[in-house]
Structure 1
Amino acid sequence: MQAQFSLSPTAERPLVPCPGQGKLRAGYLRGFTDLISSFGADPSSILAREGIDPQSFDDPDQDIECIAAVNLLEFCSSHFQDPLFGLRLAEIQDPDVYGCVMAMARAAPNLRQALQCLVDYVPTCVSPEAGFELATTGGTVELRWSTNVGMGRLEQVNLHGMLLNMKMLHILGGEHFRPRYANLTCSLDRASIRRLQDQLGCRVRGGASSNAIAFSADALDQPLASANRMLFGLLGRGLAELCASARASFREQVEACVRQAISSGQCSADDCAEQLGTSTRTLQKRLARLGVKFSDIAQEERIKLAKHALTWSDFSLDEIASRLGYSEQTSFGRAFKRATGMTPKAYRNAAQDASRAMA
């Protein structure tokens, strides 16, 4: 069970628990249903298609699966024939979708400390699969971010994050903030790049190694007009307590470790134990007490990633099998059918048929 905490010892109502591993706070996609309605479509049916409860989705403090959120944006891009759907969603949002983290950032003394709030607290308050970092080279700073959901298409998530984070930097940096360039890990056509450059006000490069917005290092120590020392201190103490108390269950920690390990090709109990700072023997004993084996978790995560890749990527079956750590496609096919009752090819065809039926 996720821990709860109060902003002060005397507060009677605890704050909402943190999102679990593989989850995302629904409030991050605020405005989605209004956007879908503007297309003349039914948002409830589209949400249900991805296994998201429409009623829960309306509660910003509810959690949804990260992969479901990614699939949601990618499906809408395809269904509405809008290659910049993620950008369109960010256009109607503001950075307050980051919740209390953005409130703390606004109250920070300067831009450096404001951005450090995102680095420190977004994984705890928004999603454990999201992360920010600041990288400085010479006189240029890059605010970088990543989303860990495995293989498949991430174009719309990347576009959404790019505009949302640019809006956040402009709010925090004030009227004098000027981006130098922006990098996206996905590749875009020339028309999309031009549209994005017009929106962001700087050069954009696709196919980069990381998502990033670059700006002058001189901006980091500029004071924020919205600085509020008392509020910054109160929120800082509360969020620090939240980070200390938000301990994911051991199984969730192992699942997160396995997801990362599958992508790197180093998925073993020994490697996972090392990442978690324990011994392989202790890892196996703790999982045994939960009634599960490491191999079971690894297989479940491989099947989740396989479903995502079969639905949203153009990878061949051989490539998917290799990326998931199977020695050959036949062993992947047997494992997938055992878990789902379908062959990988049949699953991909069914996913494509479902998309065409919605079109």
Structure 2
Amino acid sequence: MDEHEYFFGLEGPLDAIPASGQMRAANLTGFSDYARIRGSDAHRILERHGLEPRTLVDPDSHIGCQQVVDVFEYCSTLFDDPLFGLRLAHLQDPDVFGCVTALCRAAPDLRSAVGCLVDYIPIVHSPEADLELVEGLDTAELRWNVRTDMGVNDQANYQALMLMLKLLRTVGGNSFKPAYVHLAVDARPRDVPEIEGLVACHVLNRAERNAIGFPVQALDQPIASANRLIFRLLGGYLARVKLVNRANIVERTASYVRGALPAGTCSIERCAEKLGLSVRTLQARLAVHDISFSDLVEAQRENLARIYLKQTRMPLDEVAERLGYGEQTSFGRAFKRWTGTTPRKFRAVGGSSNG
């Protein structure tokens, strides 16, 4: 049997895979307990943000990433807890990541385990996750981010930090010790010592990227729970899932637009280049779905505009700039076309509109 062949065959995944903009509901594990301890009702909080309460008992169901981000930021304010994401993750374990955690535990060494985390979290847990392992001479970094702009998502970053630290410590054993943590969040200076106490290492606040740094030699550390059979079978399954789980051209283009608009780099030429297509081919493939690149740009502009106005105090001219408008009046006309109201009125009434 060839090294890359397995005795089973797959025409598709054994379970549904999260679509663009979704994640597994396992991210809410322990949320009911936290809310109850704080004297609140988890069901009401979820319903307020358009989430079904049943997701609390169905970790393998799929929910909107933006809704989870909104819930976490809302809870941080509701419970007056600027470190809500860290405390929620304290009630959770690495199994939030599902079968990826099982694969990491079965890996032969830490390098293989981290490689599995990087490769398969975007497939199994959420396609919005963007992870990377960077190896230096003395230090390695596990970096993470989200592929799209979801507004303020500090609490989700806190949760991701604690869960990934727990996983690294689970597979790395007592010998794994982080050297530092970089966080792309706007934590209050007085909260940093508490964060450092929870993660047991130095924390750099307001960093350019999220990262956990650790000695590079730790990557060669054997894993006590290594299991060659599980690693090969489960790894083979997930490798096949990764191959068949190709997002359609509309989802891939929309994902590009969400990320490129705030960066000011959104154009059909750059999108085509990123997707490895010619502009003409990209246009033709979108046309099959009865949609154009400009339609997707318009839809993502509206979505991001609502997020910026609802979740931030960003000045209107900055919102317009992030969405690619040369002037605030152009943005205002577009926003009224989408929602029937002005950006200023939309923000004043807390983000409700006729749209």
Taking the aligned partners of 2:44 and 2:333, their CA distance within structure 1 comes to 33
Shift of 1:233: 0.4
**C-alpha offsets along residues 169-222 of structure 1, whole Å, 9 cap, x if unaligned?**
111110111111111011222321111111111111101111111111111101
**C-alpha offsets along residues 13-63 of structure 1, whole Å, 9 cap, x if unaligned?**
952221111111111222222222222212122112222222245322221
Match of 2:3 in 1: none
**Which blocks of at least 5 consecutive residues in structure 2 are unaligned?**
1-5
Match of 1:123 in 2: 122
- Retained in 1: the 8 A contact 2:306–2:351? no
Taking the aligned partners of 2:150 and 2:230, their CA distance within structure 1 comes to 40
Taking the aligned partners of 2:129 and 2:314, their CA distance within structure 1 comes to 24
Q: State the secondary structure of the residue aligned to 1:351.
A: coil
The answer to whether structure 1 residue 150 and structure 2 residue 149 are counterparts is: yes
Amino acid at match of 1:112: R
The answer to whether structure 1 residue 285 and structure 2 residue 284 are counterparts is: yes
Taking the aligned partners of 1:221 and 1:179, their CA distance within structure 2 comes to 15
Shift of 1:291: 1.6
Alignment RMSD (CA, Å): 2.0
Residue 45 and residue 289 in structure 1: after superposition, are their counterparts in 2 closer, same or farther (change >3 A)?
same
- Retained in 2: the 8 A contact 1:321–1:329? yes
Amino acid at match of 1:337: K
Residue 12 and residue 260 in structure 1: after superposition, are their counterparts in 2 closer, same or farther (change >3 A)?
closer
Taking the aligned partners of 1:353 and 1:260, their CA distance within structure 2 comes to 25
**C-alpha offsets along residues 260-296 of structure 1, whole Å, 9 cap, x if unaligned?**
2112212122221111111212222222221222111
Pick which of 298-307 and 187-196 moved more. Answer: 187-196
| Residue correspondence of structure 1 range 239-254 to structure 2 within 5 A | 239-254=238-253
**C-alpha offsets along residues 210-257 of structure 1, whole Å, 9 cap, x if unaligned?**
111111111110100110011000111000000001011221111111
Match of 1:184 in 2: 183
Runs ≥4 in structure 1, deviation > 4 angstroms?
10-14
Q: State the secondary structure of the residue aligned to 1:132.
A: strand
Amino acid at match of 1:195: E
| Residue correspondence of structure 1 range 1-359 to structure 2 within 5 A | 9=8, 15-150=14-149, 152-351=151-350
Taking the aligned partners of 2:35 and 2:99, their CA distance within structure 1 comes to 26
- Retained in 2: the 8 A contact 1:22–1:128? yes
Q: State the secondary structure of the residue aligned to 1:178.
A: coil
Amino acid at match of 1:68: Q
- Retained in 2: the 8 A contact 1:66–1:149? no
Percent of matched pairs sharing the same residue: 46
Taking the aligned partners of 1:51 and 1:86, their CA distance within structure 2 comes to 20
Shift of 1:320: 0.6
Taking the aligned partners of 2:123 and 2:131, their CA distance within structure 1 comes to 12
Taking the aligned partners of 1:169 and 1:344, their CA distance within structure 2 comes to 44
Q: State the secondary structure of the residue aligned to 1:145.
A: strand
Number of positions where the alignment pairs a residue of Structure 1 with one of Structure 2: 348
**Which blocks of at least 5 consecutive residues in structure 1 are unaligned?**
1-6, 355-359
Amino acid at match of 2:350: A
Residue 14 and residue 153 in structure 1: after superposition, are their counterparts in 2 closer, same or farther (change >3 A)?
closer
Shift of 1:137: 2.1
Q: TM-score normalised to the size of structure 1?
A: 0.92
Residue 131 and residue 14 in structure 1: after superposition, are their counterparts in 2 closer, same or farther (change >3 A)?
closer
Q: TM-score normalised to the size of structure 2?
A: 0.93
Taking the aligned partners of 1:54 and 1:163, their CA distance within structure 2 comes to 24
